[in-house]
Amino acid sequence: MKSSQSSRIKDARAAAATLLAPVINGQASLATLDQRLSGMAVSDRDRGFVKALCFGVCRTYPRLDALAGELLRQPFKQRDADVQALLMLGLYQLLHMRVPAHAAVSESAGAARALGKTWATRVLNGCLRRFQRESATLEAKVDRDEAVALMHPAWLVDALRSAWPTSWEALCHANNEPGPMTLRVNRRHTTRDAYLERLAAAGIDATACVHVEDGIQLATPFDVEQLPGFADGDVSVQDEAAQLCASLLAPALADAPNARVLDACSAPGGKSAHLLERFDIALTAADIDAERLSRVEATLERLGLSAGLEAADASATPPEGAAAFDAILLDAPCSGTGVIRRHPDIKLARRESDIDALAALQSRLLDALWQRLAPGGTLLYATCSVLPAENDEQIAAFLARTADASADTPADVTWGAAAGAGRQLLAAQNGHDGFFYARLVKAA
């Protein structure tokens, strides 16, 4: 649908289908959902419903897609991905939301008119009513496929089973639940205990995170703009696993004022900000995407922090004489398999063939950035992946080819599990995301 048409859409379900269509076709992601939704005529009251539909359909997509395959005589054409999305969101409402069944059916089918595809109303109505009649039989049939029942693509189920033979099913179930909302207190402004008191005074239920000093987990998600002191930079949203980055770099930075630090893939800037909140350092935040780098600038501005900004490809061989850094954070581009619950469209977008390409990029980044690390310096490698090819296998290969590199990842910590030369966290229900860390030191 053309943008001029989509901007006139008021119907919530038609809007959700319009937003989901390019995600289903691999042409967009949920990361741009707010931006695209802001260009529609959907009421403020309905925007939360639209977002819940979009995230919910992506989270359960493998199973919804299998059910749709049973209901349709033939699949919709690619140009009708918005109609496909209407069927998906109708099924999602019937299975997972408290929407009255008659509304889920009639409103989802009727939304095809707002898309200019009146012909689809009858098809959608027939499919959804048939599902109501035969749901038990249809669900039992599709759930014979283990991957469908677990709502993950088959290749990923195989990969998780191979990597984590005793916990892969629990990991799939954790991926299917929304992650908790976790905050990071800006210690330059306040303390965690003081901020917990402010939350309690505002009637917001929260507890201190177990593994990090600045983390707070909310009992239920909350509008960030309504959080006490958010606009003043007192607090940010950041998962507990991501906050471990600062703790792991503390030995290199805590007693090193003005240490030169590079955050090589910094956007959107959460980890850069946390380092600046904790340590008196000279930080350069770099990213290959200049537009994404502007998000880092906005993040730092809200928090009252400053850093050098550099739009650069960190995987490129550094020029002769390039500045050396005392510490480098490489939060490497990865499959995102540790944060599926926050980005459920990964289930649609990621392919098995992506992993080798990502691993090759991570390898180039490690080699290039190692050249920019000063002797005796520390490089912290991080991913939000749970796949060994991007994590412990990647670091093992790097150590094998890099004579002046050694692993220094702590073992005496309360989080994660040893994974080669690093530590691996898996997504935990009502807890942290999946992350991998390896701390590397360059010979003096």
Active site amino acids: 384
Residues 6+ apart with CB under 8 A from 256: 279, 281, 326
Q: 93 with 128: CB under 8 angstroms?
A: no
The number of angstroms, rounded, from the C-alpha of 443 to the middle of its chain's C-alpha atoms is: 34
How far is the C-alpha of 92 from the C-alpha of 97, rounded, in Å? 7
Q: How many residues does the chain have?
A: 444
Angle, CA of 293, 187 and 424, to the nearest 5°: 65
Phi, psi (deg, nearest 5) at residue 96: -130, -5
Q: 394 with 359: CB under 8 angstroms?
A: yes
How far is the C-alpha of 290 from the C-alpha of 310, rounded, in Å? 8
Q: How far is CA 97 from CA 44, 146, 194, in A?
A: 20, 23, 37
How far is the C-alpha of 276 from the C-alpha of 273, rounded, in Å? 5
DSSP letters, 300-358, are: HHHHT---EEEE--TTSPPPTTPPPEEEEEEE-----TTSTTT-TTHHHH--TTHHHHH
In single-letter form, the type of residue at position 330 comes to L
Q: 47 with 362: CB under 8 angstroms?
A: no
How far is the C-alpha of 123 from the C-alpha of 75, rounded, in Å? 12
* Integer Rg of the chain from CA: 23
Locus of tokens 């249809």: 138
Residues 161-194 as b/e (b if ≥16 CB within 10 A, e otherwise) read: eebbeeebeebbebbbeebbbbbbbbeebbebee
Angle, CA of 363, 287 and 382, to the nearest 5°: 45
How far is the C-alpha of 274 from the C-alpha of 263, rounded, in Å? 11
How far is the C-alpha of 296 from the C-alpha of 302, rounded, in Å? 10
Q: 293 with 284: CB under 8 angstroms?
A: no
